Structure 1
């Protein structure tokens, strides 16, 4: 894989993933109706949407920057916990099919992004 390809894939995935997490976090902070229904279905209090939404917004900002590597690592870890927790929550309430698998798909996309970030760090001029 060429250096240019790594850079393009890294930035494309970062921007797409970051924007989706910003939108999801914004919907959580705004306590969007569909999100409230999902939280009730999963057995969580609705106010947790503001907490997780704020964390997603901060995590997305951390992913979209390249200056603070440790904060970016923690953001990746936080998103991993989030998606694993979403999968477990869906499994515990008996959801199946796409609702159960979707968090794992997003987790895999995040791992691919993480892989390309590490590759990008090795080629980026310091």
Structure 2
């Protein structure tokens, strides 16, 4: 079985470092890239096609909600998991309406974060 190719898009470097460690030893998920902004995410997607994107809702230069819609319009096969520090229904609903396949809160247990990526695939 091929590993799920994952892109992480989040501007919090300490969180990204933790997520990198989490997926380093995963038997099901391969981290193929990290983007710290909407601009970096768009640049990455011009050259690579991840299976799943863990996408922060709040980026310094873009709304994750709008970026989600843009990614799904240009790359419909990519699955998106909204990565949020909020457990706020209205924001999560907007992400789902814009094409996200699911969401996970940043303080979720490590197994839950891996499971969120596996589940949307």
TM class by shorter chain equals under 0.3
Of the two, which has the highest radius of gyration? Answer: 1
Q: Relative contact order, CA 8 A, sep 6+: which one is greater? A: 1
Higher strand share: 2
Higher helix share: 1
Q: Could you state the TM-score of these two structures normalised by the residue count of structure 2?
A: 0.27
Q: Could you state the TM-score of these two structures normalised by the residue count of structure 1?
A: 0.26
